[in-house]
Structure 1
Amino acid sequence: MRVVLCGYYGKGNGGDEALLATLLQMLPDRVTPIVLSGNPQQTRDRYHVEARDRMNLFSVVQTLRKSDAFIWGGGSLIQDVTSAISPLYYGGLMTLAQQLGLKTIAWAQGIGPLKRDTTIKLARQTFGNCTAVSVRDQGSAALLSEWGIPCTLAPDPVWALESSPVQGLWDLPAPRVAVTLRSHPQLTATRLDRFTRALIDFQKATQTCILLVPFQQSQDLAIAEAIAAQLPGVRKVFCLEDPQALKGLFCGVEMAIGMRLHSLIMAAAEGCRCFALSYDPKVSKLMAEIDLPGWNLTEIPDDCHVIYNTLLEHYANGNSLTPEQRQSLVDRSLMHQELLHQVLSS
């Protein structure tokens, strides 16, 4: 069975690459995946799969005509806050796959935010015509329920991604703390400066090795390097492109401070204490669902000493998820795999 995988792949985003790696890990053995990618050669080399240029619409259409199924492969593909064009791309391909008679799966989706009437109408139509749908959060499930569309609700599949060791990690002194920030309008220069000064004091007090981890280098690397240049103690900017290694990094970390959704999922899955800085409803939903401490970016305290004391308190006395909680999240995330096998094995 030839199955086309569609997502924000091959664009240098660690979270979306982790979703692709997990999807490939969960597909039935009989499936031959064809990935629509922003960097087809890199995708072929990394995952040993067929790949097509996601923007070459002639090639994409030809691939769909020769395939048996089409999957939206995880993440917030259908939202119109960061881009009005993006949902039209994904929705258009899903509509075409449905018109061509392919089995269609909306897999591990986080739907919204949806602000435009045209996007809402497109989302309702495409999700409603899918062979099967799974979502990763209560809000998405509630929206589909409101539309009368059945779905499977399960934790983000990256909870179940297999991790791999990171070369050089264990040569760095312990304890280690990972920091994953990204550029965002709400992370103003003033807020970033306050956070950096708090992190400097935090490192002095704890004598931790700070790992700056860009999940998408185009958005994260400059911030990581700017913070690293100011830290007084041992620090390292860790640029990892393999999503399994990215998750494996958190095996050797005591605490993670993260904006990126999948940095927090990976860290929590590996037993780290986590502190979240939310820039998006999907991060806030995760904070609520697994009781993660943190702030929305707009709520970061004005006093860097308050930030410092909060981080220090969580480092000293905060809790990670218990092994039982982590295993429960992994087990429930495998419901996304069960859905794949039900649809693609019939």
Structure 2
Amino acid sequence: MKILISGYYGFENIGDDAVLECIIAGLREKGIDDITVLSNTPTNTSFRYNVKSVYRNSFKEVFNAIKNTDILLSGGGSLIQDITSNKSLWYYLSIIFFGILLGKKVYIIGQGIGPLEHKYNRLLSRFILRRVDLITVRDEDSMIFLKGLNIEKNVILAADPVVNLAPCSEERLEEILRNEGIDKGKYIVVCTREWGNNELSRVELAKAVDDISKKYNLEVVFLPFYYNKDDAESEKVANYLKSPYKIIKSKYEPKEILGIVKNCQLLIGVRLHSLVFALVSLVPFIGISYDPKIDGFLKSINLKSFKIDKFSSDELVNYAESILDNRDNFVDNLKIHLEELRKLSDNNFNIFDKSK
């Protein structure tokens, strides 16, 4: 069986790299090893994951890859939305549409669907998505969104594939922390990203981080999830800090990033997958939402969501105190939800038992 995977791969985004790693692992657990990935850096992707890969922006290569596959798999992430751009949405829909036209099985797995703000994007998405063979979504809000598009058939609730990611070895983690000059278990992780003109949010976030790090005697570590982008935003937030800090600028694998997260005392994250990493690590965390996908994830595990343009430093500090001073209860709650999500994540791959 030949599988072709389409997604936002080859852009040095830790979250998407983790998604791809977990999708490939899930397929291989089902005995599927003939895997091709559409990537922005195909040579690197082939070497990194031991798969075939083609350049995602070459029409000829992409068309031939779709033509020669058995199943086109679109996922995971948030591909079917127009908040990022219309162009991005149209790209992913066109890949799906070519799969349908060429008579391939088309699965959308582990995705967050929406929002679609423009009417023509909703109409186009509904026209195409109603013709795919199966959709698994990572949260209930995505199911509700699809229902609003009159798409209910062959839609299954699953979870983000990244809930199955495992951290690097303790030996490798200790090497990383030693190289970065970070004391194991004595730091707070901040994962931010740029979103509009949010200078006030930067000020409030920095003040909260200062207060939390001071009260609990924790070092501040900024952990970019999107290289060459998040480090710049981290610098902007750090400029308002009074506490000493570090920004990790070296490139690490998702499992290594997960190891860094696993050994912190608290994570404050704007990037969705920084929050997923914290859940997988059973580390207390605070989610700041710039997008409905953050709200959907936090809602799925019954945690509070702070809007990126509306939170105050006092709110973050009070919430941090409530979870850190009741750490065991918070972690016990995470364990319950992580177990539930891991069971749901099986729905992303059970479909391949029937495809053989």
Q: TM-score with structure 2 length normalisation?
A: 0.89
2:54 corresponds to which residue?
52
Distance of aligned partners of 1:322 and 1:294 in 2 relative to their CA distance in 1, 3 Å threshold: closer
Q: 3-state DSSP class of the match of 1:299?
A: coil
**Structure 2 counterparts to residues 1-346 of structure 1, below 5 A:** 1-27=1-27, 28-145=30-147, 146-165=150-169, 166-169=173-176, 171=178, 172-173=182-183, 174-185=185-196, 188-228=198-238, 230=241, 232-233=243-244, 235-237=246-248, 239-301=250-312, 304-318=313-327, 319-320=330-331, 321-343=333-355, 345=356
Q: CA deviation at 1:14?
A: 1.3
Query: What do the CA deviations read for 1:278-298 (whole angstroms, capped 9, x no partner)?
Result: 000010111212122341112
Show CA shifts across 1:39-89 (max 9, x none).
112212211211111001111112222221111021111111220111111
Aligned-residue offset at 1:332: 1.9
Instruction: Name the SS of the counterpart of 1:168 in structure 2.
Output: helix
> 1:3 deviation in Å?
1.4
CA gap 1:208/1:4 in 2 versus in 1, 3 angstroms: same
Q: Match of 1:133, SS?
A: strand
* In 2: Cα distance, 1:238 partner to 1:142 partner: 39
Q: Distance in 2 between matches of 1:167 and 1:231?
A: 27
How far, CA to CA, are the matches of 1:305 and 1:261 in structure 2?
23
Matched-pair contact (CA < 8 Å) for 2:265–2:283 = yes
Cα deviation, residue 179, structure 1: 0.8
User: Which stretch has the larger CA shift, 235-244 or 150-159?
Assistant: 235-244
Q: Sequence identity of aligned pairs in percent? A: 26
Distance in 2 between residues matched to 1:209 and 1:43, nearest whole Å: 34
Contact 1:274 1:292 in 2 (8 A): no
Q: Residue 194 of structure 1 aligns to a residue in which SS?
A: helix
Which residue identity is paired with 2:285?
C
CA gap of 1:232–1:139, structure 2 versus 1, over 3 A, is closer
> Which one is further off, 289-298 or 264-273?
289-298
How many residues align? The count is 341
Q: What is the TM-score of this pair, normalised by structure 1?
A: 0.91
Whole-Å Cα distance in 2 between the matches of residues 205 and 285 of structure 1? 31
Contact 1:3 1:32 in 2 (8 A): yes
Matched residues in 1 for 2:219 and 2:82: separation? 39
Mapped to 2, the partners of 1:305 and 1:117 lie a distance apart of: 39
Structure 2 residues without counterparts, runs of 5 or longer: none
Q: Is the 8 A contact 1:127 1:149 kept in 2?
A: no
How has the CA–CA distance of structure 1 residues 42 and 76 changed in structure 2, closer, same or farther, with 3 Å as cutoff? same
Q: Could you tell me how far apart the structure 2 residues matched to 1:256 and 1:103 are?
A: 40
Distance, in Å, in 2 between the alignment partners of 1:17 and 1:222 is 20
Deviation at 1:140, TM superposition (A): 1.7
Indicate the RMSD between aligned Cα atoms, in angstroms. Answer: 2.1
Point out the more displaced range, 307-316 or 116-125: 307-316
- Residue 164 of structure 1 aligns with an amino acid whose one-letter code is C
Distance 1:112 1:300 in 2: 24
* Residue 136 of structure 1: how far off its partner (Å): 0.9
Moved more, 172-181 or 226-235: 226-235
- Distance apart, 1:142 and its partner CA: 2.2
How far apart are 1:181 and its partner, in Å?
0.3
* CA shift in 2, pair 1:4/1:330, >3 Å: same
Instruction: Give the direction of change, closer, same or farther, for the CA distance of 1:253–1:169 in structure 2 (3 Å limit).
Output: farther
Partner SS for 1:120 = helix
Change (3 A) 1:197 1:125: same
Pick closer, same or farther for the CA change 1:128–1:307 going to 2, 3 Å: closer
Partner SS, residue 3 of structure 2:
strand
The CA distance in 2 between the partners of 1:295 and 1:328, in whole Å, is 24
Amino acid at match of 2:115: P
Gaps of 5+ in 1: none
